[in-house]
Amino acid sequence: MRWAVQPGDTPLFGRERGCDEFEQEILRFTGASDVRASEDDDELIYVLGGSGTAEIGGERAELAAGTAVYVRRGTPWHVLDADELEILSVLVRDPLPDAQTHAVVGVDDVETGTATAGRQFRLLAPCASVTQFVGYIPVGRAPDHFHKYDEVVYVLEGEGALHIDGETAPLRAGSCVHLPARLVHCLENTGPGEMQVLGVFRPAGSPAEAYYPDGTKAVY
């Protein structure tokens, strides 16, 4: 299935895999890094594991699992020190103008919202072009649906399956998914525990906005 990448497969979603809006990449650091900056793309990062300290736009930030960071294009950042720091980076192509240069948010510091089929989410680092969030999916399968936004998803925890047009791909921690706008799909949590996913989508909005295949708005 061309909509899913399994753990260990490279590259992740980007232009090489038909995803023009984003570029996903896993970054790993064991010490100080070179300066990282893009003159063209915004960058959303999320700490998957380990810890460290970074300098972002001239300010120091502590990085630990669950830390989310927005970095506006043209804003330099680099890791000052790291202990097995692992980060998921998502570059945002052709971003909108934004007054803020960067933002740092901890997933445990934000409130939880509700989406369809008992699913919940937490919005992370704010960005004018996209929405970054962690989604919490209970065991079970929601109805097939689509979104009006283009999205890349990374599975943080749990096991499940992606269902699209009669095809099914297994999902587990480290699996990546690309969901183009209006693609009818379903993410199923096969259990036994909660599934957690990290999503980035554009245009920015609410993760709770979804539509059934006939175009009616999903309720929750």
By CB atoms closer than 10 A (0-12, 13-18, 19+), residue 207 is buried
Instruction: Decide which of 2.60.40.1180, 2.40.10.10, 2.60.120.10, 2.60.40.10 is the CATH code for 109-202.
Output: 2.60.120.10
Q: Are 200 and 125 contacting, i.e. CB atoms less than 8 angstroms apart?
A: no
Question: What is the model's pLDDT at position 140?
Answer: 92
Please list, in sequence order, all residues whose beta carbon lies within 8 angstroms of the beta carbon of residue 122, skipping any fewer than 6 positions away. Answer: 107, 110, 111, 112, 113, 133, 134
Band (56; pLDDT cuts 50, 70, 90): very high
Please indicate whether the domains covering 15-107 and 109-202 agree at the CATH topology level: yes
In whole angstroms, give the CA distance from residue 66 to residue 53. 14
Break the chain into its structural domains and give their ranges.
15-107, 109-202
Q: What is the pTM of this model?
A: 0.95
Measured between alpha carbons, how far is 121 from 112 in angstroms, rounded to an integer? Answer: 6
Strands 150-157 and 195-202: antiparallel
Specify the pLDDT at position 116.
Answer: 66
For 15-107, give the CATH class: mainly beta
User: How are beta strands 67-71 and 195-202 bridged, if at all?
Assistant: unpaired
pLDDT per residue as tens digits for the range 88-140: 999 999 999 999 999 999 999 998 887 766 788 999 999 999 999 999 999 99
Q: How far apart are CA 204 and CA 149, in angstroms?
A: 8
Looking at the predicted structure, is the pLDDT value of residue 220 above 80?
Answer: no
Asked whether the beta carbons of 71 and 54 are under 8 A apart, the reply is no
| pLDDT computed for residue 91 by the predictor | 98
Q: Does residue 60 carry a pLDDT above 70?
A: yes
User: Which among 71, 32, 24 has a CA at the least distance from the CA of 48?
Assistant: 24
Residue 86: pLDDT over 90: yes
